[in-house]
Structure 1
Amino acid sequence: MTRVLVSGGGGLVGRFIVEDLLGQGYQVTVGGRTRPADGLFSNPVGFAPLILDADLDQARAFDDVDHFVHAAFDHLPDKYRGGEGNDPDGFRTRNLDGTVQLFETARKAGVQRCVFLSSRAVYGTQPVGTLLTEETPPHPDTLYGTVKLLAEQALAAMARPDFVSTSLRITGVYGAALPGQPHKWQTLFSDYLAGRPVEPRLATEVHGRDAARAARMMLELPSGEINGKVFNVSDILVDRHELLKLLQVATGCPHPLPAPVTDITPLLMETRRLRGLGWTPGGRDLLARTIRSFYP
């Protein structure tokens, strides 16, 4: 049985990866500060203490591990961009130096494949109308994006035939890994259902299960197709008008919707590279089904 260590596996995004791997018969160990609560996952998982600290020897976490998926990130609660708060140096040290040290430790331990969850934030500021491809020159305009890009580059430099290394530039992840678990729109939906005003906003989205499948593909595809590469992981461009309209249909809530967004500021991410390897996300049908599942 293939053994996978998932750092940050107890997080909102990491849970999707763990659940996907469990469903495909992998033996999964969650790496993190604390052991996952009972019942967090559909099947039993192992646990390995693991933190983002470049000064610690954490080689034991990689004992008997075949693959490593790095989904952990240390930031202020509910914040990524701006998640450094008033400690940018510590933020960079933990999330860059700590991450690179984990990559090095995994390589030295004989881990065969390493997948890093990066972000569309690496692209930063781009001219309006730019289609973001993996060849688009990155210009991160946040510390979060800068740290993700530098970690990508460090991992790519380690890529070898015996250490297959890939980064996934993932956009906003929605959905719940298991019924009843938290999702990122809970506050937004609560505000709308309570009649509180909601500001218009447009964003790129991908369901967590589709993101998780992309991560698993990096463990299963021929190494020559993925080694040392980055892949965009995105699905649909959705504004809050459309999103809350689906919620309105699911709940019958009569509150007015925010205005549709006409200024399409977010830049679309091209996913042709990943789709060419067989990845097909769920699109708007999956979005609608997901929202209905929150309000059965």
Structure 2
Amino acid sequence: MTILLTGAAGFIGAYTAQALLQAGQAVVGLDNFNAYYDPQLKRDRVAALCPQLDLRTLELTDRDGLAALFDQVQPRAVIHLAAQAGVRYSLENPQAYVDSNLSGFVNMLEACRRHGVQHLVYASSSSVYGDSAIPPFSEDQRVDQPRSLYAATKAANELMAYSYAQLYGLRATGLRFFTVYGPWGRPDMAPLLFARAVLAGRPIEVFNEGRMQRDFTHVSDIVAGILGALSHPSAEPVPHHVFNLGNHTPVELERFIDVIERAAGRAACKVYKPMQAGDMVRTMADTRRAHDAFGYSPSLSIEQGLPPVVAWCRAYFGERA
């Protein structure tokens, strides 16, 4: 069974490709290598984690190109991780989210429907919980009060996938990721931003005066959840499921910074700032549904998972980065 993996040069995508290939799966990857962050990091990531991957360059908005790819590859399953990411960037460039996360997602649904894909696993986000969130966030809570356009597009993806499951029987599973971190991570996210700044002796911006909590989840736990979901498609009359993939243990931002400081061997210069538009004060995943469905059980704490991130930053970027 060939698996098509989109966003394969991305942070989660490359680790997912690595795990699938190590398990002996036939995988074709897709990525557009856009410039949201340095494409060279994406190329280096693939070279380090999954160099043997059959990786194609394609835009999600290219319907003809997607159709031709599906005709050639004939994937039986699709793991769709490609999207325009970032809460704050959605305030600056909303059209990128419309193109990739809305138009691109519809194109992917249509390609799956027309080519008989047996299971679509796609990335959603903890951001969908928005202003209605009550920790711990469970999949039964409302997701109709998003705090950003990014969150709104991810909630819309879940509705779109449900409609295709209801109309066409497309088996689809949405995964709400909670603040993923690890080596080779995204440079716009707090783990790398903070680690690089502390290593270089630069100040770090600490929003909401440090009164933030995040359900930091190591990429290895996320990949385990993706593979578990892939092997357990819904058997319901409307074959659509949504699962939280988090660590179910919120971490105070100050504790998070402290772990980075100890791993870096130097203190952070903190600049406290007010809350940023679009951000959430606290995230916390209720992961019981994923555990019951496919045994999801995250295991890495930040004390275990963050020091290798700092070491990787030192090796890849250097201490002056």
| 1:17–1:131 distance in 2 versus 1, CA, 3 Å | same
- Report SS of the residue matched to 1:124: helix
Q: Give, as a single letter, the amino acid of the residue that structure 2 aligns with 1:145.
A: A
Q: Give, as a single letter, the amino acid of the residue that structure 2 aligns with 1:231.
A: F
Aligned with residue 141 of structure 2, among 136, 154, 170: 136
> Which structure has the highest helix share of the two?
2
Alignment of 1:128-207 (within 5 A): 129-138=134-143, 139-159=145-165, 163-176=170-183, 184=189, 185-198=191-204, 199=206, 200=210, 201-207=212-218
Q: Give, as a single letter, the amino acid of the residue that structure 2 aligns with 1:65.
A: P
CA contact (8 A) 1:7 1:50 kept: no
Aligned with residue 232 of structure 1, among 208, 224, 244: 244
Structure 1 gaps of 5+ residues are: none
CA contact (8 A) 2:8 2:55 kept: no
Identity of aligned residues (%): 23
Q: Give, as a single letter, the amino acid of the residue that structure 2 aligns with 1:132.
A: F
| 1:45–1:140 distance in 2 versus 1, CA, 3 Å | same
What is aligned with 1:269? 285
Alignment of 1:91-110 (within 5 A): 91-110=97-116
TM-score (norm 1): 0.83
Question: Matches of 1:251 and 1:175 in 2, distance apart?
Answer: 15
Question: Matches of 2:93 and 2:214 in 1, distance apart?
Answer: 28
TM-score (norm 2): 0.77
Residue 40 of structure 1: how far off its partner (Å): 3.9
Provide, for residues 58-78 of structure 1, a one-character-per-residue CA deviation record: whole Å limited to 9, x for no partner: 212223212111111135xxx
Residue 92 of structure 1: how far off its partner (Å): 1.3
Question: Matches of 1:152 and 1:249 in 2, distance apart?
Answer: 40
| 1:47–1:166 distance in 2 versus 1, CA, 3 Å | same
Residue 279 of structure 1: how far off its partner (Å): 0.6
The alignment of Structure 1 onto Structure 2 pairs a total of residues equal to: 281
Aligned residues: CA RMSD: 2.9
CA contact (8 A) 1:157 1:228 kept: no
Alignment of 1:237-256 (within 5 A): 237-254=250-267
Residue 49 of structure 1: how far off its partner (Å): 3.4
Q: Give, as a single letter, the amino acid of the residue that structure 2 aligns with 1:109.
A: H
Residue 254 of structure 1: how far off its partner (Å): 4.8
Residue 195 of structure 1: how far off its partner (Å): 4.2
Tell me, yes or no, if structure 1 residue 26 matches structure 2 residue 25.
yes
- Report SS of the residue matched to 1:268: coil
Alignment of 1:55-74 (within 5 A): 56-62=64-70, 63-74=73-84
- Report SS of the residue matched to 1:232: strand
Q: Please, which moves more after superposition, 212-221 or 156-165? A: 156-165
Question: Matches of 1:30 and 1:213 in 2, distance apart?
Answer: 18
